């Protein structure tokens, strides 16, 4: 994604385009994929597709709504879109304007010109990876319950978690709103006597699901952090820090959001996931 002198995204390359669109190599260069000359080579080599169709002619004209991929990885043609990763600290609610006056995400988004919003939610006592964007379609699709984006959490819990409990969490337990099973669960060690560290990976978007699952097997959560959301990893980003996604991360996220056209259509039909939903 290109940016202006102040670090904010520059205007879209389609701003002055004719109704016939812009040449593919030009929008690829504007999106930061490569120079126009290299983009032409990528096209000639059959490495670029538009709406799922391989394109080999550099003169192909595209529109901002077209889905362009290079080597199977999606790129964003609209350079006005912004994608950020926040390491949300404990005590911050996942709202841009909390009606109860609690600390919210506005302290992080106010520095940006774009109107940003969060993809999904983390409850106030859960820290970790939260995506902020002004790309409404991507946010709606990734937050939609039927899409099932995988998330990974590290939980410090009360008690010594046994191998039998790990099996129970992955084979399935019954909660008040139905059965649930984690994709994977790993014991990471014991931070202190009477406590355990557990890694939980799952794709459910049900309300406070990690906390409820661990409580149901007798291990209430002491601390909970989301380390991964789909292809994105929190890495070394400190609590309260925020940054733009790298080009590689953005490509992975866009590819994920486009991988299933049926899900995209379902999300557009059903609307965004419940904004009050809290899937931690």
Render pLDDT for 131-149 as a digit per residue (tens, 0 to 9): 999 998 888 888 876 777 8
Element (H, E) at 75: strand 73-75
DSSP one-letter code for 57: -
Length of the chain: 280
Render pLDDT for 217-238 as a digit per residue (tens, 0 to 9): 999 999 999 999 999 999 999 9
How would you label 35-44 residue by residue, b for 16+ Cβ within 10 Å and e otherwise? ebeebbebbe
CATH no. for 151-229? 3.30.2350.10
Mean pLDDT of 18-34: 87
What pTM, to 2 d.p., does this model score?
0.82
pLDDT at residue number 1: 40
Residues carrying an active site annotation: 123
Domain boundaries, the chain: 1-80, 83-147+231-270, 151-229
pLDDT at residue number 207: 84
Share above pLDDT 70 across residues of the chain, in percent, rounded to a whole number: 85
CA distances in angstroms from 108 to 2, 10, 118, 132, 185, listed in the order given: 21, 20, 11, 10, 32
pLDDT at residue number 14: 59
Common-topology check for domains 83-147+231-270 and 151-229:
no
Tell me the pLDDT of the chain averaged across its residues: 86
pLDDT at residue number 141: 83
Its CATH class, for the domain covering 83-147+231-270, is alpha beta
- Helices in the chain by DSSP H: which ranges? 24-30, 36-44, 106-109, 136-143, 163-171, 209-216, 247-258, 261-270
CA distances in angstroms from 99 to 50, 83, 231, listed in the order given: 43, 25, 32
Its CATH class, for the domain covering 1-80, is alpha beta
């Amino acid at each position: 994604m290109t940016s202006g002198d102040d670090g904010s995204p520059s205007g879209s390359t389609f701003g002055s385009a004719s109704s016939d669109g812009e040449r593919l190599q030009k929008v690829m260069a504007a999106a930061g994929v490569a120079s126009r000359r290299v983009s032409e080579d990528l096209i000639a080599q059959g490495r670029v597709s538009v709406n799922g169709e391989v394109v080999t002619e550099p003169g192909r004209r595209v529109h901002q709504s077209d889905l362009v991929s290079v080597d199977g990885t999606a790129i964003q043609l609209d350079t006005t879109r912004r994608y950020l990763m926040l390491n949300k600290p404990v005590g911050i609610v996942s709202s841009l304007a909390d009606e109860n006056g609690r600390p919210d995400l506005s302290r992080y988004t106010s520095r940006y010109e774009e109107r940003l919003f969060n993809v999904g939610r983390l409850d106030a006592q859960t820290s970790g990876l939260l995506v902020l964007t002004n790309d409404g379609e991507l946010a709606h699709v990734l937050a939609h319950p039927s899409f099932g984006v995988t998330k990974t959490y590290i939980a410090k819990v009360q008690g010594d978690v046994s191998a039998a409990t790990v099996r129970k969490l992955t084979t399935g337990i019954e909660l008040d709103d139905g059965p649930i099973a984690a994709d994977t669960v790993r014991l990471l060690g014991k931070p202190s006597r009477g406590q355990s560290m557990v890694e939980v990976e799952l794709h459910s978007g049900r309300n406070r699901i990690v906390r409820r699952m661990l409580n149901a097997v007798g291990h209430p959560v002491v601390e909970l952090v989301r380390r991964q959301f789909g292809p994105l990893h929190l890495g070394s980003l400190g609590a309260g820090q925020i940054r733009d996604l790298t080009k590689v991360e953005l490509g992975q996220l866009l590819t994920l959001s486009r991988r299933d056209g049926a899900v995209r259509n379902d999300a557009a039909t059903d609307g965004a996931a419940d904004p009050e939903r809290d899937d931690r």
